[in-house]
Amino acid sequence: MASTSDADKPSVSNVEENRTRLCEEFAAVAGTDSAVAQCYLSENEWVMERALNSFFEADLERVFEEDFQQKGTSPKTKRDKVEEKPAGNCIDLTEDSPSTTRKPPEEDDGKLSLISWNVDGLDTDNLPERARGLCSYLALYTPDVVFLQELIQPYVDYLKKRAVSYLIIEGGEEAYFTGMMLKKSRVKFVESEIVTYPTTKMIRNLLVAQVNFKSQKLYLMTSHLESCKGHAQERMKQLHVVMQRMREAPEDVTVVFGGDTNLRDTEVAKVGLPSSVCDVWERLGKQEHCRYTWDTKTNNNKNAPYVSRCRFDRVYLRPATKEGVPHLAPDHMALVGLEKLDCGRFTSDHWGIYCSFSAG
């Protein structure tokens, strides 16, 4: 008869099954294969977060070394989530051209503009060129707000040096995470918080910032929801958290969410959007030219041997409802990042979303 201690031990088959699942989850997050996943997990006692941190702790700073003006400095042991002061002696790659004689249309009429983009920082190939590509789009569109997903710390450090007209808010400091950029001349930062997803297997969370824009109170939210088809249940749980936060915001506040949701339409239907929340793409007439933000038919950054076209990246809006408060409504949407860079690749494996909103 087996002893109590033996009975409590998991069977060999259960251990193997659990480790196979962990390898699949690691590979999905890190964009690698199961052999690499097994190596990192076994070295870190099969603890997912430790293994991912070990994987991403490679000296990625060297990827951006040619663009950093101060070399040989050791990274900070603890980084501020919000960077208020720009780095010294830096060229702002997002600054408006000196030859510009008028403000962009969005600034002329008081519209709020934003870009939401999964920048694929986990892919280090051509990363400096692709980061400069992002800055070029910021200079072209001059968005008031930028939502970014799949950031790594060297990418953020680069942006802090090359996009000094923006305030950068980080949604994490280890492995990979989300972030926001706020145009300092247009958007006034109040405070931010990180909302955890209790059961995430991919260190995902919800980044929320309270800001003021032309006397309007805004809650800005971004997230990178759980990836892969097999994680639909967790992804729907996360969407529920997002929608609850949007629905419960004060009635004098406008709430805008944007991010890489990985959602399928059937999943959204199961969770359901509150009546006060709209999908911006749907509200603007479901325009076909900006439907697919993940499109391996056109975007070959991943060299995928299959065609996959999905609307993973989405923007949601919950206008303020209080009488006398400006009610923002979406008036334009387009995809950005559709042009190849000189290196022969796109800025990201996702297209970015550009949106503008006007007060009704």
CA–CA gap between residue 240 and residue 247 (Å, rounded): 10
Run of H or E including 177:
strand 177-183
CA–CA gap between residue 242 and residue 253 (Å, rounded): 16
Scanning 117-231, the segments in alpha helix (DSSP H) are 127-141, 153-162
Active-site residue flag, 260:
yes
Residue 166 CB: number of other CB atoms within 10 A? 26
CA–CA gap between residue 40 and residue 22 (Å, rounded): 11
The number of CA neighbours under 13 Å toward the Cβ of 50 is 9
Give the SS3 label for residue 169: strand
> In DSSP terms, which residues pair with 149 in a beta bridge?
118
CA–CA gap between residue 257 and residue 242 (Å, rounded): 8
Give the SS3 label for residue 20: helix
* Catalytic residue selected from 260, 279, 295, 349: 260
> Looking at the annotation, which residues are catalytic?
260
